[in-house]
A and B are shown apart, each in its own frame.
Chain A
Amino acid sequence: MATLARLQARSKFVAQQYYFRNSVVDIFRKKEYDAAVKIQSWFRGCQVRAHIRNLHRVATIIQKWWRSYSGRQEYQLIVKFASCAMKMNLYNAMAVRIQRRWRGYRIRKYCFNYFYLKEYLKAVSETNDAIREALEEFAEMKEREEKKADLEREEKKRDYQARKTHYLLSTKQIPGIYNSPFRKDPDPWELRLQKAKPLTYQRSKVKQKRCISLSSWLACTSARSFPRSEILPPIDRKQCQGPFRDITEVLEQRYKPLEPTLWVAEPISELKVAREEFRRQEWMRDVNDNMISKLYYHHLISSQSMENYIQKLDKLSKDFIEEGEKQA
Chain B
Amino acid sequence: SQKLYLKIFSKLTVYTTLVGLLNARNYNFGGEFVEAMIRQLKETLKNNFYNEAVYLVRFLSDLVNCHVIAAPSMVAMFENFISVTQEEDVPQVRLDWFVYVVLSCLPWVGKELYEKKDVEMDRLLSQIEGYLKRRVKTHVPMLQVWTAEKPHPQEEYLDCLWAQIQKLKKDRWQERHILRPYIAFDSVLCEALQHNLPPFTPPGHMPDAQYPMPRVIFRMFDYTDAPEGPVMPGSHSVERFVIEENLHCIIKTHWRERKTCAAQLLSYPGKNKIPLNYHIVEVIFGELFQLPSPPHIDVMYTSLLIELCKLQPGSLPQVLAQATEMLYMRLDTMNTSCMDRFINWFAHHLSNFQFRWSWDDWADCLTVDLDKPKPKFVKEVLEKSMRLSYHQRIVDIVPATFSALIPADPIFTFKYEDETASSLPGYPTSVTVSNAIKNRASNEEILAILKEVPNPNQEDDDDEGEAFNPLKIDVFLQTLLHLAAKSFSHSFSALGKFHEILKTLTESDEGKLHILKVVYDVWRNHPQMIAVLVDKMVRTQIVDCAAVANWLFSQDMAHEFTRLFIWEILHSTIRKMNKHVQKIQKELEEAKEKLEKQQNKRRDSGDDEDMEKNSEDEEGQLEEQIERLQEKVESAQSEQKNLFLVIFQRFIMLLTEHLVRCETGSVDISTPWYKNCIERLQQVFLMHHVTIQQYMGTLENLLFTAELDHHILAVYQQFCALQL
A and B assemble together: no
Interface residues of B (CB under 8 A from A): none
